[in-house]
Amino acid sequence: MTTQTVLNIEIDLAKIRGERHFFDCLSQEFRLPDYFQDNLQDNQQHNSQYSFDGLNDCMRDLSWFTEKYIIVSFIHFDTIKIKN
């Protein structure tokens, strides 16, 4: 794999401060479409859960990426176990 066809995404779980922050990180790192961010804002205003269905829809599409491969690394996974 050449570097032009690979996107490396690294999510540092030690820096995640909650569910909303996790969604924000995913939105930024995966360059999720505006409708995902709008969905998050709508849910926050109505005090409901964020849409995992919306995240699922976005992650199944990913048509906005020009890279052929995406490598996702979650680092400091052990901090999630400690927090829970």
Query: What is the dihedral angle through the alpha carbons of 56, 18, 69, 64, rounded to the nearest 10 degrees?
Result: 60
> Measured between alpha carbons, how far is 81 from 28 in angstroms, rounded to an integer?
24
pTM: 0.70
Q: So where are the chain's domains?
A: 3-83
Of residues 82 and 28, more confidence is placed in 28
Work out the pLDDT band at 18, boundaries 50, 70, 90.
confident
**Residues in CB range of 47: below 8 A, 6 or more apart:** none
Q: What is the pLDDT of residue 21?
A: 87
> Measured between alpha carbons, how far is 6 from 73 in angstroms, rounded to an integer?
13
Lowest mean pLDDT among 2-6, 58-62, 63-67, 73-77: 2-6
Q: What are 41-69's pLDDT values in tens digits?
A: 555 554 444 677 888 888 888 888 899 99
Of residues 84 and 35, more confidence is placed in 35
